[in-house]
């Protein structure tokens, strides 16, 4: 054991560098700072979590939009849900895809029909985009364009959807298909589905028996109002292919506030500069 004691003495006499106390102080300062940092971070995290919770509670009570968005959550939903079923972004062959297409979940053949229709439309659109792009590229090089000039030309293909409004029984949503490159192209599909009665909703459901007259009157009024001081308007005259009447195939959606919005695609009844045309129509009081 003497030998061990001797070893301990040697150990105890290990020379201590003068630098040590400086280094220990440095460690203490840094450690204190890191500790404060950590505390603040934890505190902030709790504050943010608490704030978010308050916002959600307030939001559900104050905003019908948010409340109806929450209906998308599986537990809260009614007879049906609208879910994203294709959702991806990718780049391939100089095309940037940004696709989020919806899928309706409900126990009815209406849902199946709608999903199949959307799927078909999505496929068509993707094929068309590819075709447009290939044609453009071929034409570009056929007319003397070079690889250098082609550079990093890209095309954006965007598919997106928007739930305009929904209740326990029905939903109104749109799916938009867009291509952006040297020219751009956008198309919109409108869906108004009643799951209780398992059918598409029509303008008649919202505007009553006289729906054609109601729509035509309101739309004509808005077209007339669009004529500016110089007597000019984007709208075509009826005999030049302008607006004449709504019919069974006229697109529409239901706004959150219950207003009916009748839609006409770009170029259909007005100059392209006017874009997609929307006419807000107030449902008749019953």
Partner 1 sequence: MSKPLVLALERAERSSSVTKEETLTQYLVKNQAGFYRLTYSVLKNQDDALDAVQTAVCHALERQDSLRNAGAIQTWFYRILMNVCNDVLRQRMRVVPLPTDWEPSQEDPEPTDDTLIQRVDALPLEVAAIIKLRFYEELTLNEISQITGQNLSTVKSRLYSGLKKLRIATEGAEIS
We find the least distance from the C-beta atom of residue 2 to partner 1, in angstroms, to be: 10
Applying CB under 8 A, does 8 fall inside the site for partner 1? yes
Applying CB under 8 A, does 3 fall inside the site for partner 1? yes
Cα–Cα dist 268/236, whole Å: 9
Q: Are strands 80-92 and 251-254 parallel, antiparallel or unpaired?
A: unpaired
In this structure, how many other beta carbons lie within 10 angstroms of the beta carbon of residue 133?
19
Tell me if 154 sits within 8 A of 181, measured CB to CB. yes
We find the least distance from the C-beta atom of residue 58 to partner 1, in angstroms, to be: 19
Q: Please choose, out of 1-9, 51-59, 137-145, 262-270, the segment that lies near partner 1 by the rule CB under 8 A.
A: 1-9
Site for partner 1 in 110-169 (CB under 8 A): none
Applying CB under 8 A, does 14 fall inside the site for partner 1? yes
Cα–Cα dist 175/163, whole Å: 9
Applying CB under 8 A, does 44 fall inside the site for partner 1? no
Q: Which of 34, 48, 62, 76 binds partner 1 (CB under 8 A)?
A: 34
The burial class, CB within 10 Å (0-12 / 13-18 / 19+), for 224 is: exposed
CB-wise, 11 or 209, nearer to partner 1?
11
Cα–Cα dist 217/197, whole Å: 30
Beta bridge partners of 90: 97
At 148, list the tokens.
Answer: 């250098």
Tell me if 163 sits within 8 A of 256, measured CB to CB. no
Applying CB under 8 A, does 28 fall inside the site for partner 1? yes
Applying CB under 8 A, does 10 fall inside the site for partner 1? yes
Applying CB under 8 A, does 74 fall inside the site for partner 1? no
Applying CB under 8 A, does 238 fall inside the site for partner 1? no
| Site of interaction with partner 1 (CB under 8 A) | 1, 3-4, 6-8, 10-12, 14-17, 19-21, 23-28, 30-32, 34-35, 38
């Amino acid at each position: 054991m003497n030998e061990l004691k001797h070893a301990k003495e040697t150990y105890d006499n290990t020379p201590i560098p003068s630098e040590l106390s400086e280094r220990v102080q440095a460690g203490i300062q840094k450690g204190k700072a890191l500790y404060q940092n950590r505390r603040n971070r934890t505190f902030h995290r709790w504050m943010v979590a608490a704030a978010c919770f308050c916002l959600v509670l307030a939001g559900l009570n104050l905003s019908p939009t948010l409340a109806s968005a929450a209906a998308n959550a599986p537990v809260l939903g009614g007879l049906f849900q609208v879910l994203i079923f294709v959702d991806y972004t990718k780049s391939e062959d100089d095309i940037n895809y940004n696709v989020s297409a919806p899928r309706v979940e409900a126990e009815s053949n209406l849902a199946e029909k709608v999903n199949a229709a959307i799927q078909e439309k999505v496929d068509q659109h993707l094929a068309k985009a590819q075709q447009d792009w290939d044609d453009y590229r071929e034409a570009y090089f056929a007319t003397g364009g070079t690889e250098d000039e082609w550079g990093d030309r890209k095309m954006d293909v965007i598919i997106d959807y928007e739930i305009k409004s929904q209740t326990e029984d029905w939903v109104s949503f749109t799916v938009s298909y867009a291509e952006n490159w040297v020219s751009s192209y956008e198309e919109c599909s409108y869906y108004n589905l009643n799951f209780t009665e398992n059918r598409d909703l029509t303008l008649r459901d919202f505007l009553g028996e006289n729906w054609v007259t109601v729509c035509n009157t309101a739309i004509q009024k808005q077209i007339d109002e669009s004529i500016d001081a110089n007597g000019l308007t984007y709208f075509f005259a009826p005999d030049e292919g302008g607006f004449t009447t709504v019919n069974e195939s006229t697109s529409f959606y239901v706004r959150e506030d219950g207003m009916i919005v009748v839609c006409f695609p770009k170029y259909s009844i007005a100059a392209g500069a006017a874009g997609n045309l929307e006419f807000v129509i107030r449902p008749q009081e019953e």
